[in-house]
Amino acid sequence: MNEDIRFFKGRFRVKVTNQTKGYWTIEALEDFEDTEGTSTIEVKKGESKIVPSNTLFKAQKIPAPIKEHSYELRMEKKVKQMVSEEEKTETKKKK
């Protein structure tokens, strides 16, 4: 098998050393922390790890930012409008 350079979870460079059905064995090319559930595992350069194939990518990808809930965005817009209207009425009262 030719050793392939991939990105684990789209961020960390790893080398694929073995492929099996659904899982691949990787070797870390840099130090990183992997979170599995609630625990954090520190992976050192050169360590091997067995991971699902769907966590490896050919190119480095930064995950998209989490979009705010549409309700929160609408409420934020309403609050801004209310504040601007209140400021306008206060300036009129002062004159």
Residues 16 and 41 occupy one common structural domain = yes
Asked if residue 3 has pLDDT above 70, the reply is: no
Q: What's the rounded Cα separation, in Å, for the pair 5 and 62?
A: 17
Segment 5-28 mean pLDDT: 89
Give the distance from CA 8 to its chain's centroid. Answer: 12
Q: Are residues 54 and 73 in the same domain?
A: no
Q: How many domains does the chain have?
A: 2
Predicted confidence (pLDDT) at residue 6 exceeds the cutoff of 80: yes
Domain that holds residue 31: 1-58
- CA-based angle 37:67:8, to the nearest 5? 40
Are 70 and 46 in the same domain?
Answer: no
Confidence grade of residue 48 (pLDDT, cut at 50, 70, 90): very high
Pair 54, 69 in one domain = no
Q: 69 or 62, which is more confident?
A: 69
46, HSE (Cβ side, Cα atoms, 13 Å): 0
What is the predicted pLDDT for the residue at 9?
86
Residue 43 shares a structural domain with residue 1: yes
